[in-house]
Chains A and B, each alone.
Chain A
Amino acid sequence: MTELGTESARLEIIGDDDVVRVRQLARSYAQQVKLSLVDQTKLVTATSELARNTLTYGGGGAAEIGIVRDDHRTGVRASFQDSGPGIPDLDLAMTDGWTSGNGLGLGLSGARRLVDDFELDTEVGRGTTVTVVKWSR
């Protein structure tokens, strides 16, 4: 995936407040690259899901959010990293409605549908990194 440039920020995800902060940061970058209102809302919602998973299942971690560019377009990239337990069965975790806790089981699979690029890297015992990009049209 395209690398983040200088227009980016890093946030620790330790508590509930940090999830709100992630959303606000994602929204401000989304507005900077002029994403449509629908796409802004989709990106913000996806980051909200991923940040909360980082907090709830990853035991906390960090988010890196910023603007990405390729030859034709600009977008917002958000990356969530934790050193938690990892996801043992990824297919299961990505299944709509499956939750190991008491959520709706829609955060991960839903987030994938809300963004353009979705990359998930996980290893049991080491942690999980999820990176998403929403491109402006």
Chain B
Amino acid sequence: MDAAAEHLAQLVELLRTDSEQLIHRWVELTAPSLRGRLTEAELHSDSRELFDALQQALATTGNVNDSHFAEVKGLLEDLSRARARQGFSPSETAISVFTLKQAVSELVGQQDDQNLYRQVLTFSTLLDVLGLRTFEAYARTREGIIKEQSEQLLELTTPVVKLWDGVLAVPLVGTLDSIRTQIVMEKLLQALVDTGSEHAIIDITGVLAVDTQVAQHLLKTVMAARLMGAECTISGIRPQIAQTIVALGIEFGDITTKASLSDALRHALRRSGVDVVATARSGR
């Protein structure tokens, strides 16, 4: 037991003897902010777990930076993450820690003890620090969720379509960043496997610029497709893009390129033995 813990002896004793009452009151104070996102029983079990860990740590030290608080901090991180996912706000999350202060001071308020009062103050400060930690964990989780969502959105906005039996196409659109290009290329390769297709067309008509990084992703995809026994065609290279690619010095080597998506499709069909012929009727 260290010096700080010595000073908290009375408080620790109080937490132990009145734990049921304290947890009950703590839950009662926090419950109004739940608004159906969490049941009171769940809150109760979360609170008890945290309370027990807190009590154990305090029995050894009153210093939050001590390793004995590792479990408390771990639980708080988990709790903050869960709350962030359940749609609680950061302050609602922090308040669920701060309400324990009120529960404890209500209990102590009935006793007239200078020593105990000082210990409760120390305890309050400690809970402040812990409450603030939930903010950080909460923010990290939200950032993670936002990132996940935008990646999901990317996947949704870059469809791999089947143009014909054995022919897949993926249109690339807009400003390509590394992540986006990579996701599209991975999706295309996976779709080749899933559908057993032998032709893939990457159409870049909608792409604003092709730099070395985008080019490298394209080249790698074509090579990977080849290893899987599929042929890749790049279509829709617009004049300004073509000139830029040449000036940059990028070489597409023996990769088939076609002016338009329909040219690329015709090429793919021909390669798989389908011949596209114009009939008199098509002219109307």
Q: Which A residues fall within an 8 A CB radius of B?
A: 16-17, 19-20, 23-24, 27, 37-38, 40-42, 44-45, 48-49, 52, 96-97, 103-104, 106-107, 109-110, 113-114
4 closest cross-chain pairs (CB), A and B: A110-B248, A41-B240, A48-B211, A38-B240
Within 8 A of A (CB), among B233-267: 239-241, 243-244, 247-250
Tell me whether A44 and B208 are in contact (CB under 8 A). yes
Tell me whether A109 and B209 are in contact (CB under 8 A). no
Tell me whether B249 and A16 are in contact (CB under 8 A). no
Tell me whether B210 and A104 are in contact (CB under 8 A). no
Given A23-B209, A96-B249, A113-B249, A45 contacting B178 (CB threshold 8 A): no
Asked if B212 CB lies within 8 Å of chain A CBs, one says yes
Asked if B177 CB lies within 8 Å of chain A CBs, one says yes
Tell me whether B215 and A110 are in contact (CB under 8 A). no
21 contacts between A and B (CB under 8 A): A17-B177, A20-B175, A23-B175, A23-B208, A23-B209, A37-B240, A41-B240, A41-B241, A42-B243, A42-B244, A44-B208, A45-B211, A49-B212, A97-B249, A103-B216, A104-B215, A106-B212, A106-B250, A110-B212, A110-B247, A113-B248
A90 vs B270: C-alpha distance when bound (angstroms) = 49
Asked if B41 CB lies within 8 Å of chain A CBs, one says no
Mostly, the A contact residues are helix
A41 vs B247: C-alpha distance when bound (angstroms) = 11
Asked if B179 CB lies within 8 Å of chain A CBs, one says yes
Of all chain A residues, the one with the shortest Cβ separation from B243 is A38
Q: How far is the CB of B243 from chain A (nearest CB, A)?
A: 5
Q: How far is the CB of A108 from chain B (nearest CB, A)?
A: 10
Tell me whether A45 and B210 are in contact (CB under 8 A). yes
Of all chain B residues, the one with the shortest Cβ separation from A102 is B216
Q: How far is the CB of A95 from chain B (nearest CB, A)?
A: 11
Given A41-B208, A45-B210, A104 contacting B244 (CB threshold 8 A): no
Tell me whether A110 and B209 are in contact (CB under 8 A). no
Asked if B213 CB lies within 8 Å of chain A CBs, one says yes
Q: CB-CB < 8 A to B211: which residues of A?
A: 45, 48-49, 52, 107
A25 vs B114: C-alpha distance when bound (angstroms) = 64
Q: CB-CB < 8 A to A109: which residues of B?
A: 249
Q: CB-CB < 8 A to B179: which residues of A?
A: 16
Tell me whether A107 and B240 are in contact (CB under 8 A). no
Of all chain B residues, the one with the shortest Cβ separation from A51 is B211
Q: CB-CB < 8 A to B209: which residues of A?
A: 23, 41, 44-45, 48
Tell me whether A103 and B244 are in contact (CB under 8 A). no
Given A23-B209, A45-B248, A104-B216, A40 contacting B240 (CB threshold 8 A): yes
Q: CB-CB < 8 A to B244: which residues of A?
A: 38, 41-42, 45, 114
Q: How far is the CB of B218 from chain A (nearest CB, A)?
A: 11
Given A20-B177, A38-B239, A106 contacting B208 (CB threshold 8 A): no
A86 vs B146: C-alpha distance when bound (angstroms) = 35
Extra pairs beyond A45-B244, A113-B247 (12, CB < 8 Å): A19-B177, A41-B208, A42-B247, A44-B209, A48-B209, A48-B211, A104-B215, A104-B250, A107-B211, A110-B212, A110-B247, A114-B248
Tell me whether A106 and B177 are in contact (CB under 8 A). no
A42 vs B178: C-alpha distance when bound (angstroms) = 19
A97 vs B211: C-alpha distance when bound (angstroms) = 14
